[in-house]
Amino acid sequence: MSPGIGTAASDHSPRNSSTRGWALQQAAAEVLPGGVNSATRYVGHPYAFGGGDGAYVVDLDGNRYLDYHAAFGAILLGHNSPVVDDPVRDAVGKLDLFGLGVTELEVELATRVTEVIPSAEMMIATMSGSEATAQAVRLARAATGRQLLVKFQGGFHGWHDAVARNVISRPELAYGRDPLSAGILDAALESTLIAEFNDLDSVRALFEQHPERIAAVIMEPIPHNVGALVPTQEFVSGLRDLTSAEGAVLIFDEVITGFRHALGGYQEICGVQPDLTTFGKGMANGYPIGGLAGPRSLMERFDGQKGDVLLAGTFNGYALGATAAIATIEHLRANPDFYTRTHALGARIRDGLTSIVAELDLEATVAGYGGVFSLYFAAAPIRGYRDLMRNDNQAYAAFHRRMTDKGFLMIPMSLKRNHVSGSHTDADVDRTLEAARDVLAAMKADGTAH
């Protein structure tokens, strides 16, 4: 794998000379570590944003971009969608925060979630996907009385210690010790084991090495944090059978796949029901909220009167997030053609990129599912992280950088995915493919891609 995996491509000159954006970034660096509030937000130009509408965002210098980043996938319907924003405006001034008891909105949200997610009988609300996965891991350990956790190389499940390792690892660190942060206890790192996606034998081997010690297997059904590794049906079904036989909890981290690919998440598509499901991001079209759902037998352990697993959070189920989530879910229920349309647009982009790659004779593979697409700079097949170690990470990031400089916002870091929202159009796709042909031809001409 080329050096620099997971880092941004070098910043090219912006389309217009940056003034306000650059100035704000410099001011931000004085009061925010690195000038941003999340590690992967600094990517060079564009430095700062001033607004968004539908499929487009505008930076602080007035440059307009067709947005495929979509706030890491949190924007599902489009920026500032009235479908969601209007109900939120109506809620302001009626309900704020009480911190005791329950509101009608919380009950309505939980009812909607349990109606649409196949494996859900009860749910809890959180403020983020990371909180949801932290609760899922703790619940699994409590339910099984075991300590060990299995995750897959390349999967990202949030910032907490139990899962903060082995995401976009350099080849020499892949499958070994690769924490995402300093300050993680050795015991936390050692309690999480690493398997290979789409390789059931690698999971089975861990159960054989650690009999009756593995509490749970956590997985992104499609590991979108390294682009789009699509699972085989044999792998997903086999994982369900294996965890059931071994008495371990199967956790689907659907923070990205949930509500984006189908109303019931990827589990609705593959027909495999996990024990626990985490979700967030697109469920509220950009408003901060997440959640965890599962069968009553597990979820009732969060019962503050009779259970033994702590559930705490002052803002859990807060009014505006719950309102946004209910509005998003109800819109998707009433408009199932959302999925037909976004899947079709995603397929058009993937098919178009595949044709361009063939036309230019590039060593590259187009991947994705539904409205998500990625262009790996490596030959097929790409099934798991071992295959991604053949990817040319510098070319991957450069493609995204050059597309962004042309007005198509794609995070210029290797292995990051792109999203189609409900606001993208066929005309947007046509413009995207035209720009991609120009960019890829230039990359081949100057030796950036081969």
Question: How would you write 280-323 as a 3-class SS string?
Answer: CHHHHCCCCCEEEEECHHHHHHHCCCCCCCCCCCCCCCCHHHHH
Q: Identical fold at 20-76+336-445 and 82-334? A: no
- Residue whose C-alpha is closest to residue 334's, from 82, 83, 37, 22: 83
Q: Which of 40-44, 51-55, 135-139, 222-226 is predicted least confidently? A: 40-44
The full set of domain ranges for the chain reads: 20-76+336-445, 82-334
Q: How far is CA 119 from the centre of its chain?
A: 20
Q: Would you place residue 120 in the very low, low, confident or very high pLDDT band (cuts 50, 70, 90)?
A: very high
Is the whole-model pTM more than 0.85? yes
Q: Would you place residue 407 in the very low, low, confident or very high pLDDT band (cuts 50, 70, 90)?
A: very high
CB 202 within 8 Å of CB 384: no
427 burial type by CB count under 10 A (0-12 exposed, 13-18 middle, 19+ buried): exposed
Q: How far apart are CA 147 and CA 353, in angstroms?
A: 44
Q: State which amino acid sits at residue 24.
A: L
- Which fold, 82-334? Aspartate Aminotransferase; domain 2 (3.40.640)
Q: How many CB atoms lie within 10 A of CB 172?
A: 8
Please enumerate in sequence order all residues whose Cβ is within 8 A of that of 137, keeping only pairs 6 or more positions apart, or say none.
Answer: 149, 160, 162, 163, 215, 216, 218, 251
pLDDT tens, position by position, 244-256: 999 999 999 999 9
Q: State which amino acid sits at residue 288.
A: P
- Residue whose C-alpha is closest to residue 18's, from 64, 62, 56: 62
Q: Would you place residue 68 in the very low, low, confident or very high pLDDT band (cuts 50, 70, 90)?
A: very high
Q: Which CATH number does the domain 20-76+336-445 belong to among 1.10.620.20, 3.20.20.140, 3.20.20.70, 3.90.1150.10?
A: 3.90.1150.10
For the record, the structure tokens of 71 come out as: 């706030």
Share of the chain above pLDDT 70, in %: 96
Q: Residue 16: is its pLDDT beyond 60? A: no
Q: How far apart are CA 118 and CA 277, in angstroms?
A: 10
User: What would the mean pLDDT of 24-32 be, rounded to a whole number?
Assistant: 95
Q: Is 245 helix (H, G, I), strand (E, B) or coil?
A: helix
- Give the C-alpha distances (Å, rounded to integers) separating 349 from 278, 354, 358, 362, 418: 29, 8, 14, 17, 11
